[in-house]
Amino acid sequence: MPQTLKLAVSQSYTLSTLAATLDSLKATTQEAAREGVDLILFPEAYLGGYPRTCNFGAAVGARSDEGREQFFQYFKSAVDLGDTPRGAGDEWVDRELEVGKGQEYRGDGTREYLERVARETGVFIVTGLTEKSGGSLYCSVVYVCPRLGCIGKRRKVMPTGSERLVWAQGSPSTLRAVTTTIKGVKLTMAAAICWENYMPLLRYSLYSQNVNLYLAPTADARDAWLSLMRTVGCEGRTFVLSANMCTKRKHLPDWITGKKSTEVSNVSKSGSTASRSHARRRSTLTVTAEKHELVLPTAEQATNGNTSLADSLSEIAIADGPNSAADEEYVCRGGSCIIGPQGDVLKGPLWEVEDGGLLIVDADFEDCERGRLDLDVAGSYSRNDAFHLEVDGLDLDPPQ
């Protein structure tokens, strides 16, 4: 029996609301189903959003009220899958956690939505998301089977750089690979999120589980990323899917860009302002087309003895509208790709293609085994009599 499946990567960006993003995921998955796709990968933090360019008002030894408000908005936009802060593992997968009185399910319904989309389309869905649990956020990946629903979920163990301010660290136990069978093809898949792929021991922990499908949702649009993905494919003798967003500044949420920090309404044809919003607002940080950072005071601050400054800020808000050059600037160029088990580039990288970029390949999974003739980094090529890796809480034996 042929061991071939059709795999896809979606270069989709997060929309303004979770509901809109879920609808977009559904439409993309339906399109993939029409193309005969068996499994599709969406980018890191696709649901809930990746807070690109946002510093959350933080510096060493200092945090601002504006930054706390940004975190609050980001927290509200995150996904609640009904898991616990410690990560319930199989209890969460098997729906053994307590459901609140009068509640149909735990969480906000996102899990159930994804399971319904997978079931209706017949496409196995893997997507990155920003997950909230308790008072913390996690960068997560969920595996959604058309037959069984969610069969696994993992949380990023090492957020990168400023991500550490807003994302908690996940448990290494979630690096456990998951297995499924699609059209008679047995898949052993695991995800390494973004710069986790630059952690050699983490990569090896996945290779040790004999993965034949390596998933790398990312936010890295550097040229060097492709070479890393080629290394993973060649090193692990595995198919590699890497999905990134292609995002322009206009796609970023208002709480990052500050577009609505100085609101103007009911402007007459003569240009006079009939009324302004006097809602509570704070200073905001924005970046001009010339890359100059401007700290804009609130309307209340501006009118403290200087009405003309408030009018000037209103004019800036109008001028920096949805058609400005800065809005069209790419803050992430994409770079999604699909790599074969010899490290060859099968599709991509896809640059500066916004929502709708779909890469599809036919993957013969027997090629993974053919490649083990001369390289099996966790087996015959490992010298495991001399080198050993142990990961606390993680079983490195290949799953059944």
Q: Which regions of 105-225 does DSSP assign to beta strands (E)? A: 124-133, 136-145, 149-155, 178-182, 185-191, 213-215
Nearest alpha carbon to residue 352 among 254, 245, 235? 245
Distance in angstroms (rounded) separating the CA atoms of residues 296 and 287: 10
Two structure tokens written together for 121 = 């389309």
**Which CATH superfamily does the domain covering 4-250+330-373 fall into?**
Carbon-nitrogen hydrolase (3.60.110.10)
Run of H or E including 108: none
Q: In tens digits, what is the pLDDT along the chain, a chain of 400 residues?
A: 679 999 999 999 999 999 999 999 999 999 999 999 999 999 999 999 999 999 999 999 999 999 999 999 999 999 999 999 999 999 999 999 999 888 999 999 999 999 999 999 999 999 999 999 999 999 999 999 999 999 999 999 999 999 999 999 999 999 999 999 999 999 999 999 999 999 999 999 999 999 999 999 999 999 999 999 999 999 999 999 999 999 999 999 999 998 764 333 333 333 333 333 333 333 344 444 444 444 444 444 444 444 444 444 444 444 455 557 889 999 999 999 999 999 999 999 999 998 768 999 999 999 999 999 999 999 899 998 899 999 999 999 999 8
Length of the chain: 400
For residue 76, give the amino acid letter. Answer: K
Domain locations in the chain as residue ranges: 4-250+330-373, 260-320
Q: What angle is formed at CA 123 by the lines to CA 85 and CA 112, rounded to 5 degrees?
A: 40
Q: Which regions of 340-389 does DSSP assign to beta strands (E)? A: 345-351, 357-364
Backbone angles phi, psi at 215, to 5 degrees: -110, 130
For residue 230, give the amino acid letter. Answer: R
Distance in angstroms (rounded) separating the CA atoms of residues 38 and 189: 14
The catalytic site residues sit at: 44, 156, 194
- Secondary structure (3-state) at 182: strand
Work out whether the CA dihedral 175, 85, 159, 155 comes out positive or negative.
positive
Distance in angstroms (rounded) separating the CA atoms of residues 322 and 213: 40
Query: β-pairing, 4-11 with 357-364?
Result: antiparallel
Query: β-pairing, 4-11 with 62-63?
Result: unpaired
Helix ranges (DSSP H) in the chain: 18-34, 65-77, 90-93, 110-121, 163-166, 200-207, 224-236, 254-257, 299-302, 307-319, 366-370
